[in-house]
Amino acid sequence: MSAWKGLRWPGWTAAAFAAAALTLAPEGWRAGLLLAAADDPASLSDIRLSQHLAPDPVSRLHEEASAALAAGDADLARSVLDLAAAHDVRLPETVAAEVTRAEQEARAPARVGGRFVRGFITGESEDIAGLAGTVTGDLFVFGDIRDAVREGGRWAAGEDADHVILGLAAAGIVVTAGVYASGGVGVPARLGVSVVKSAYKAGHVGAGLGRWMRQSGRGLVETEKAGGAIKAAVQTGQAGALVRFVKDVGRIRSSAGTRAAFDALKVADGPRDVARAARLAEARGGQTRAILKVLGRGALVLGSGAFSLMGWLAGAILTLFGFVASIKAMTERLTRALFAARAAR
């Protein structure tokens, strides 16, 4: 009888570990999936979207589309529709009709023409028309010279010049020369420069990315004040990181649109985030803006929650190990009890 009593402790232990496993297993499994997708922005965003949209994805995406329309952002509303279609979420037909109507209004010739002229003259853009004006000015070097003269004039007057704009203008002149020399091969990089300048001027750049851009601008451009003269020389040896950065921005713009590039620059904490956003845009296309709107930087990186995820995963593994160890101990004691019972006969 005492042999059978010895089964109680491992039995209760196994039951306790089993209960804990049932609690921890779902979170541990999810943590494992997220950690496995850490280097794949498309997969990472899919996993996180499934959590953020639950339990009622129709209502959540309907709210996002309605908010975008209320803000006059037909492009974002269309992105929400694309995201809903990709995840088999059926929104009311009236939403699609409202988005189509908003897009038609945004494409009105007068509004498009006004945005083109504004982009050409000021170098600021928020959509295709504005960017077309900005790029037109930049391809004729008008925009880069305008920015260089303005910032250079501030430096000559003893004022603080914006090293980011001055550096991008200097780099833009070099990139534009490369576009002409290569027969158009460098256009994505040229687009990237224009988008970055526009986003920076409009304040659509995240704090961390802005700090990196300022540091890169100081390293890229040498400025000397000598009798009111300005010397700005591109340091080609230090331009590699900035060139990769503007190329990634160009990839986002080519895959998901100008505003998607602006959104990525807003949530990015550095050039690595922008590179991840480029991979996300290439994988998800028109859904990119909606993904960034719903998840923010969480669509690109695990963030500070990575340690918490590792804790959940470790807890689940240890609990499973404890359960298996308890079952092993109970099996061994049960076997000894059976042998003892047979011997007693």
pLDDT tens-digit readout, 209-257:
999 998 887 776 655 443 333 444 445 555 677 778 988 999 999 999 9
Tell me: pLDDT of 285 over 80.
Answer: yes
- Write out the two tokens for 63: 């709210």
Q: φ, ψ for residue 134 (rounded to 5)?
A: -60, -50
CA–CA separation, 191 and 181 (whole Å): 16
Name the one residue in this structure whose structure tokens are 């039995």. 11
pLDDT at position 75 is 94
Tell me: pLDDT of 177 over 60.
Answer: yes
Angle at 283 between CA 278 and CA 285, to 5 degrees: 80
Q: φ, ψ for residue 157 (rounded to 5)?
A: -85, 5
- Write out the two tokens for 294: 């719903």
Tell me: pLDDT of 25 over 70.
Answer: no
CA–CA separation, 253 and 195 (whole Å): 8
Tell me: pLDDT of 329 over 70.
Answer: no
Per the DSSP assignment, residues forming a β-bridge with 232 are 223
- Write out the two tokens for 1: 């009888």
Name the one residue in this structure whose structure tokens are 């930087």. 297
Confidence of residue 12 (pLDDT cuts 50, 70, 90): low
Per-residue pLDDT averaged across 128-133, rounded?
53
Torsional sign, CA 97, 284, 182, 167: positive
Q: How many helices (H) and strands (E) does the chain have?
A: 17, 2
pLDDT at position 239 is 61
Which residues have a Cβ under 8 Å from the Cβ of 255 and sit 6 or more positions away? 278, 281, 282, 285, 288
Which residues have a Cβ under 8 Å from the Cβ of 294 and sit 6 or more positions away? 49, 52, 53, 60, 64, 83
Residue 263, helix vs strand vs coil: helix
Per-residue pLDDT averaged across 127-143, rounded?
56
